[in-house]
Structure 1
Amino acid sequence: MATEATNGAAAGEKNGAATEKAVTFSSLKPQLFVESAKASDAVAFYKAAFGAEEVNRVSHPKRKADQELPLLLSAEIKLGSSSILISDLSDDSTALVKTVGTGLVFCLETEDIEAAIDKAVKAGAVAEGEITEGEGACCGGRVGKVKDPYGIVWLICTPAKKCANVEA
């Protein structure tokens, strides 16, 4: 392929140094690993608790023993405008850390925190603490917290518009 040269420098170079092409991403899809053979249950929980919509599912066709459930490689769910991948944690998982539910918190925004927490609890989550308000809550709004059956903590918060008074 031909390279265009300008003032002795190849195209894509500025002052003799190569410039990098800008990289853009179309989305971020966090992947949650849950204890093996429970990812399908987790997907069902997120549908019941948070109204998630399952978009895609990829299962491993065979397990070592015929009586074992198929390994869920990934199920993509949508929560609002975001997507999350849910997968069974197995010995050959791509997860760098083989622990479940540590160091991870998701924040869901809604105007009706009480109803959202109630729905999550009815689906199997555990409410943690009271709903807080003011400076101790995210962005000075209101926030409640639940832990799902898979060890993931979910903050249920008022929308981010409450942060509008923060100067850039």
Structure 2
Amino acid sequence: MATEVTDGPAAGDANGAAVEKTVTFTAVKPQLFVEYAKVSDAVAFYKSAFGAEEVNRITHPKRKADQELPLLLSVEIKLGSSSILVSDLSEDSTAPGKAVGSGVVFCLETEDIEAAVDQAVKAGAVAEGEISEGEGACCDRRVGKVKDPYGIVWSICTPAKKCVNVEA
């Protein structure tokens, strides 16, 4: 949990002691950058491959559809109960790094891994290896991996098991 510390009587403490204010976050929305001018294609892929739902679309306030630079800035999609922003990686992008799909793996949970991998492959993803299971797999679950046409790796896993501490 994040906290903010303010000093002095203006902060609400008559004795001048520091008062701690709690900051609450309402969501985490990862931002995924795709190759220049391919946001719409990527969103269509995520809808087809993973059943994503488009929540919001943001266009550039000063660009017109006939300009070279992209009109579309980002699209918010929903996968399950999570949201992801899909954004264009252009020269004037606000992306902190200019590499597409670097250092990110998204994990999707489902009971039917085979069907999910097949659906993603039919939509244009490439399966990465076989579905693994047991101790060698991530988090001791069944896992399949696909790489989407934009370079992003998606792990498709069975839901995490509840950990139960048993004392001997």
**Residue 129 of structure 1: aligned partner:** 129
Q: Cα–Cα, structure 1 residues 2 and 25, in superposed 2: closer, same or farther, change >3 Å?
A: closer
Q: Any unmatched runs of 5+ in structure 1?
A: none
Matched-pair contact (CA < 8 Å) for 1:140–1:163 = no
Structure 2: runs of 5+ lacking an equivalent:
1-8
Matched length: 157
List aligned pairs for 1:22-101, cutoff 5 A. Answer: 22-60=22-60, 62=63, 66=66, 68=68, 70-101=70-101
2:114 aligns to what? 114
Structure 2 contact 13–19 (Cα < 8 Å) conserved: no
Q: Secondary structure at the match of 1:132?
A: coil
Q: Are 2:147 and 1:147 aligned?
A: yes
Aligned equivalents of 2:81, 2:46: Cα separation in 1: 15
How far 1:70 sits from its partner (Å)?
A: 3.7
C-alpha separation in 1, matches of 2:102 and 2:138: 20
Q: Does structure 2 retain, via aligned residues, the 8 Å contact 1:108–1:155?
A: yes
Q: What displacement does 1:68 show?
A: 3.7
* Residues 131 and 19 of structure 1: CA distance in aligned 2, closer, same or farther (over 3 Å): same
Give TM-score, length-normalised by structure 2. 0.85
Residues 139 and 5 of structure 1, relative CA distance in 2, 3 Å threshold: closer
Q: Distance in 2 between matches of 1:100 and 1:40?
A: 16
Over 3 Å counting, the alpha-carbon distance change for 1:127 and 1:163 in structure 2 is: farther
The Cα offsets for residues 72-130 of structure 1, whole Å up to 9 and x where unpaired, read as 21100000000000011112211110010111000000000000000000000000000
Counterpart-to-counterpart distance in 2, 1:3 and 1:102: 43
Does the 8 Å contact 1:124/1:149 carry over to 2? yes
Residue 136 of structure 1 aligns to which amino acid in structure 2?
G
Find the aligned partners of 1:4 and 1:88 in 2 and give their Cα distance: 44
Paired with 2:12 and 2:116, the residues of 1 have a C-alpha distance of 59
1:47 alignment partner AA: K
Kindly provide the CA deviation profile for residues 113-163 of structure 1, in whole angstroms up to 9, marking residues without a partner as x. Answer: 000000000000000000000111122110000000000000000001x25
Partner amino acid for 1:75? V
2:132 alignment partner AA: T
Specify the SS of the correspondent of 1:156: strand
For 1:26 and 1:100, locate their aligned partners in 2 and report how far apart those are by CA, in whole Å: 27
CA distance in 1 between counterparts of 2:39 and 2:28 reads 20
8 A Cα contact 1:132 1:142, kept in partner: yes
SS at match of 2:42: helix
Which SS does the other structure have where 2:48 is aligned? helix
